[in-house]
Amino acid sequence: MSSERYSRQILFAPIGRQGQERLARGGVVIVGCGALGTVQASLVARAGVGRLRLVDRDYVEESNLQRQFLFDEEDAARRLPKAVAAERKLRSVNSEIQIEGVVADLTARNAEELVRGFNLILDGTDNFETRYLLNDLSLKLRIPWIYGAVVGSQGVTMTVLPGRTACLACVLPKPPQGAQETCDTVGVIGSAAAWTASLEATEALKILLGRENELHGTLLSYDIWKNRGQRIRPQRDAECRACGQEDFAYLRDAASHPTVLCGRNAVQIRPAEPRALDLAELRKRLEAVGSVRGNEYLLQCRLEPCEMTVFADGRAIFKGTDQESVARGLYARYIGS
């Protein structure tokens, strides 16, 4: 461990040299490498946390560059998977730690495998289905997780210590109902994402350092544009489906559901069973339909009315529709059911 690299952090009394050595033994999984995840990953890697796994299902687009701090124009032009691009950037920032980018959609089928053995889970996702899955996973494996979300100029975060604090299902027993603001309808500014992710990363360091008495202990929200915030101190609910009754419903649901992607006018389709696609062979078939571009991780092809991006693990994202039936039909036609 380079003392010079972390010299200013070691001078910070709550960390010190012993704390820095403790961080080097820690491991964090970040699920989602978007606006939140890229800031989290940069801060955690630069802080010297010893093992970092980045899980993301998507690829870099130009519209990401305004708020997703680990990517550049070349990443977007090459359509690199976010997990791959983030890993490459972070390796150039800190070669002393272990960094692994995993191009995958975290589901009930693979969640335990992706998270087991790490000390902490950071939420960089953009949908409540995955957050409830992370909540159940955290409780089952007794691994702390830190929830975060951002839209417009407002961010919100809460830290969950299994068996000791309220969990996400205590606060929100069911996903929000009705029409909700999304990045697609009201936008998002990078500073709001950076604020939220910075809080999440700071809470992560406290946990890894064993300084849990210094956690903020609230559901904390702040509108960075309007300069106003709110703190709610949630209480554990003995009747909570997840932490009270240990009913981990989201871990049992291994079915393949289409996912409407936040802010993308796009639908993701997952195969019913894991499958490895031969992208070279698929490219030959798709070239009969239209021009195809891609790399070793994915292929893209225009299939009216959508642009299809298909990954080697069999997943496909159909951009240009929010209709699951349209995406399913194109998937079955060009990839197979």
Q: What is the pLDDT of residue 254?
A: 62
3-state secondary structure (DSSP) of residue 280: helix
Same domain, 264 and 243: no
Structure-token pair, residue 181: 């603001």
Same domain, 127 and 246: yes
Query: Strand 316-319 and strand 120-123: pairing?
Result: unpaired
* 4 pLDDT above the threshold of 70: yes
Determine, yes or no, domain membership for 2: no
Q: What is the pLDDT of residue 67?
A: 96
Condensed to tens digits (0 to 9), the pLDDT of residues 256-286 reads 566 767 657 889 998 877 788 999 999 998 9
Lowest mean pLDDT among 77-91, 147-161, 262-276, 317-331: 262-276
- The number of angstroms, rounded, from the C-alpha of 164 to the middle of its chain's C-alpha atoms is 24
Determine, yes or no, domain membership for 184: yes
Q: What is the pLDDT of residue 257?
A: 65
Give backbone dihedrals phi and psi of 122, rounded to 5 degrees, phi first.
Answer: -110, 135
Q: What is the pLDDT of residue 272?
A: 74
Angle between helix 82-93 and 35-47 (nearest 10): 30
* 133 pLDDT above the threshold of 90: yes
Q: What is the pLDDT of residue 227?
A: 97
3-state secondary structure (DSSP) of residue 52: strand
Q: What is the pLDDT of residue 179?
A: 58
Q: What is the pLDDT of residue 150?
A: 96
* Cβ partners under 8 Å of residue 196, min gap 6: 36, 148, 149, 150, 155, 156, 157
Lowest mean pLDDT among 41-50, 179-188, 200-209, 273-282: 179-188
The answer to whether 207 touches 164, Cβ cutoff 8 Å, is no
CATH label of the domain that carries residue 270: 3.30.310
- Residues serving a catalytic function are 183
Average model confidence (pLDDT) across the chain: 93
Determine, yes or no, domain membership for 240: yes
* 178 pLDDT above the threshold of 80: no
Same domain, 232 and 277: no
The answer to whether 302 touches 286, Cβ cutoff 8 Å, is no
Same domain, 202 and 282: no
Same domain, 115 and 38: yes
Q: What integer is the mean pLDDT of 299-327?
A: 91
Query: Strand 27-31 and strand 120-123: pairing?
Result: parallel
Q: Which helix (H) or strand (E) holds 311?
A: strand 306-311
Q: What is the pLDDT of residue 258?
A: 65
Determine, yes or no, domain membership for 223: yes
Lowest mean pLDDT among 2-11, 23-32, 157-166, 200-209: 2-11
Same domain, 274 and 327: yes
Condensed to tens digits (0 to 9), the pLDDT of residues 215-240 reads 999 999 999 999 999 999 999 999 99
Q: What is the pLDDT of residue 121?
A: 98
- Pick from 252, 277, 309: which residue ends a domain? 252
The answer to whether 160 touches 169, Cβ cutoff 8 Å, is no
- What is the C-alpha end-to-end distance of the chain, expressed in Å? 50
* 246 pLDDT above the threshold of 80: yes
- Pick from 252, 272, 297: which residue ends a domain? 252
Q: What is the pLDDT of residue 224?
A: 97
Same domain, 78 and 125: yes
Q: What integer is the mean pLDDT of 52-61?
A: 96
User: For residue 150, what are the β-bridge partners?
Assistant: 155
Determine, yes or no, domain membership for 148: yes
Same domain, 130 and 271: no
The candidate with the shortest Cα–Cα distance to 20, out of 34, 2, 33, 37, is 2
Q: What is the pLDDT of residue 188?
A: 94
Q: What is the pLDDT of residue 220?
A: 98
27 exposure class (CB count in 10 Å sphere: 0-12, 13-18, 19+): middle
Q: What integer is the mean pLDDT of 199-228?
A: 98
pTM, rounded to two decimals: 0.91
Same domain, 82 and 139: yes
Q: What is the pLDDT of residue 101?
A: 98
The answer to whether 286 touches 335, Cβ cutoff 8 Å, is no
Range of the domain at 188: 7-252
Give backbone dihedrals phi and psi of 251, rounded to 5 degrees, phi first.
Answer: -80, -20
**What is the rounded CA–CA span in Å between residue 261 and residue 239?**
32
Where does residue 320 fall: left (phi above 0), alpha (psi -120 to 50 degrees), or beta otherwise?
A: left
Determine, yes or no, domain membership for 198: yes
Same domain, 151 and 204: yes
Determine, yes or no, domain membership for 280: yes
- Pick from 252, 280, 313: which residue ends a domain? 252
Question: Per the structure, how many domains does the chain have?
Answer: 2
* 40 pLDDT above the threshold of 90: yes
Neighbours of 276 (CB within 10 A): 8
The answer to whether 301 touches 286, Cβ cutoff 8 Å, is yes
The answer to whether 267 touches 305, Cβ cutoff 8 Å, is no
**What is the rounded CA–CA span in Å between residue 11 and residue 4?**
11
Determine, yes or no, domain membership for 1: no
The answer to whether 319 touches 267, Cβ cutoff 8 Å, is no
**What is the rounded CA–CA span in Å between residue 249 and residue 228?**
36
Same domain, 173 and 302: no
Same domain, 203 and 164: yes
CATH label of the domain that carries residue 156: 3.40.50.720
